[in-house]
Chain A
Amino acid sequence: MDAALTLAASDLVQWLGNLLTFRLASCLALSGALFAIGAWGVLARRNILLVLISVELMLNAVMLAFVAFARAHVNLAKETGLPYAGESGQIFALTIIALAAAEAAVGLAIVIAYFRNRQTVDTRDISLMRH
């Protein structure tokens, strides 16, 4: 019983450990999925706020990809002794946070200004210049 329990516990630990081990592929899959959802959102959403949120989603996907790649490079450096290339990815991710924040701020300001004029946030109404 004890032995069985120990076995089960260690299995669980190992399983959890496996689960938590960094896997580049899964990170990239998640990032890709987020990016695709975001891109779809930009193209398909009718509410301009949702469109902006979708853009943010895309940026977050990029950030995730950067962090994942940075970690992969850290691991690679540990395994092979090649020069460490992880820091630039992390810096990049931090930079993207700042850029995304700036874009969001400006974006929301423009949306608010537009809403004051038009009283609408529907993208189908934003078509004054179709000729």
Chain B
Amino acid sequence: MYELMDWPLLSLFTFAPALGTVVVLLIPSRRADIIKTVASAAAAIPMLLGVYVFFAYRDTGNITYYESHKWIDGLNVWYRMGIDGLSVPMIILSGVVGFIAVVASWGIEKQVKGYFALILLLLTGMNGVFVSLDFFLFYVFWELMLLPMYFLIGVWGGPKRVYAAIKFFLYTMAGSVLMLVVLLASWYWSDGKYLEGHIDRKTQEIASLVRQDKEGAKVDPKEISDANGYLAAMYQRLNDIKARVVETRVNAYRDVQRVAPLGGATAAETRRALTRNGIDWTPHSDDMFALANQVDSNLKGLPGLVNPNNADWLAYERTRAEILADINLGRTFDLSELKHRWPLFLGDFQLFRFLPPMSFSAVMFLFLFVAFAIKVPVFPFHTWLPWAHVEAPTAISVILAGILLKMGVYGFFRISYSIFPTEAVNYAVPFAVLGVINILYGACCAMAQDDMKKLVAYSSVSHMGFCMLGMAALTQWGMTGSILQMFNHGTSTSMMFLLVGVIYDRAHHRDINKFGGLAQRLPVYAGFMTLALFASMGLPGLSGFISEVLVFLGAFRSDMGRWSSPSLSFQSLTILAVLGVVLTAAYLLWMMQRVFFGPLNEKYKDYADMNGRELFTLVPLAVMVIAFGVYPQPLLDLTSQTVPKLGQHIMASRGIASAELRSVASEGEPDAAEGVAAHGAVPSAPRTGAAPQGDEAQLEPALAPRAEETGDMRAWREEEEAVLRTAAVEREKR
């Protein structure tokens, strides 16, 4: 089993379809059958890998299958890939649904070569999005997926395909630009230079205040002490991050040390050796090697770093504070590194002179929100979706609904919530409100549709609302439910689109009112449709049920957010969202009744039931829908550690941010201010002094006590601590 782990598994997962594109392009276009076979084979590779990962993956909350190579020198862009509990359900879904979509397109007859080349390229883009851990790489895959999609809708779509394709393209493009802005801005801010400048300015302000005070001007001592507290907090932030860089560096050394007897010189070999022996390694060693080289040169002659068990370790600890002041953090696109640099993004910034200063993280979070909300799609940005779904060919609709929509929510989890955790808390209630609007609005729109495909499309809008609600709740159940809902919606809605495609192939229309009594002639078809519909409406025992219940439970127990009030609490929102289930049942059952029951429309009496290929595409999905409905535990296990970790990350940020505010408030005692003023040395003291003091509290911020913790979060934290403790004990044993 470990042998497979040595392979660049995720690169294979991502680029196997792209390789298929190249092969398909080399086959002469008249050999359509060979093209189709090759394309299916290329799409099967990610599916097999996805299935393998499903069985092999054990969630620890850490990144696994990590790959990293330097990509673009000057910009510090790396080719980083890795998966954790957030990505694993998505890559399983992407592998399976992608393969099924390719098989389902065997009926395509127009420009077969181009179609399969593009659909494989599309798969590469999507797979890449789910496994890349570098913001830049993420963006490249995100855009890569856009182009094939445009062509696939625009060339092989229905009658209004041009309009639909352009609309899809422009919406997504607008979102991408905002993401690009965030990409650049967070890259620029990630070196901490802004924060340093901010600290310097603040220091000078305080110095001038102190000077004025000494000269006898009336300065409110509270003002000085507030400013001092703020300054100390800022130093803390900066030094915490720098300390973590050093820490990671030391950890990387430890990794190497531990693995030295096992053999292994390069970082990749080290990683592999550690993984093989089941040792928990520090993920981003490669980048850290480069980043912390300065530290190394500063530490020449300090054997403590070379051998952490040595007695000289103490000497290292002592000089550390001095070293921290010299570290140049450098700009990075590494998502897991940016995740730890969120405090750098908290300051205000002034884009242009004529605009008031804005909170950097809030603006960036909103930009990202629009970028991802267009993909999800969240209510005001959803208008591209019905068009694209209806006009796209069946297989593309399957991919759109089954995978593409998930990229939005995945982006929220992977990027927005990780890099801007404080804003995740701040905007929890607006997110939940939008989620509920999605649920209800999507359901109402679906109810009004006569076109079967449009109905399914609006049902997607409605179902993605559940994901938004669960995600916004920020509770373990809510977030787990949200991820699970993505997966389950992916399977059930793919089934529905495939089934709509099946009937469209026979009747060449999708008007619900023109059908009737089909169950008499197409019993197998009706059975599958019933299964899909029931799964979609959340019937217990089928997959949709468990995720919706988790979302509701999680949301009901959440009390996040700034705008939360008795009338607009998560409780009331959850109650509204439950209404959505009723509406879902209503429109789905109504459709079923109109299509399958009642008098048989004589036009359709000699339709054949489903053929082998159609069954082949539907059976795996049906199996998944039933299996994960009856026994969802394997899916839940996939995220069991990652989601709490993300939750802790967000909660910790909330703790630190509010602790900082408290420190500003509580240190406002006159004596504290005088203390600083008496020393007269505001500028340099905290820079070297703050780091060691802050270490205990900051290195494991999750362990710091917090007042606003909910019962749910506390239980969750305790559980997590227990896990960490056992892990530590196990490590000691080794």
User: A and B: direct contact (Cβ < 8 Å)?
Assistant: no
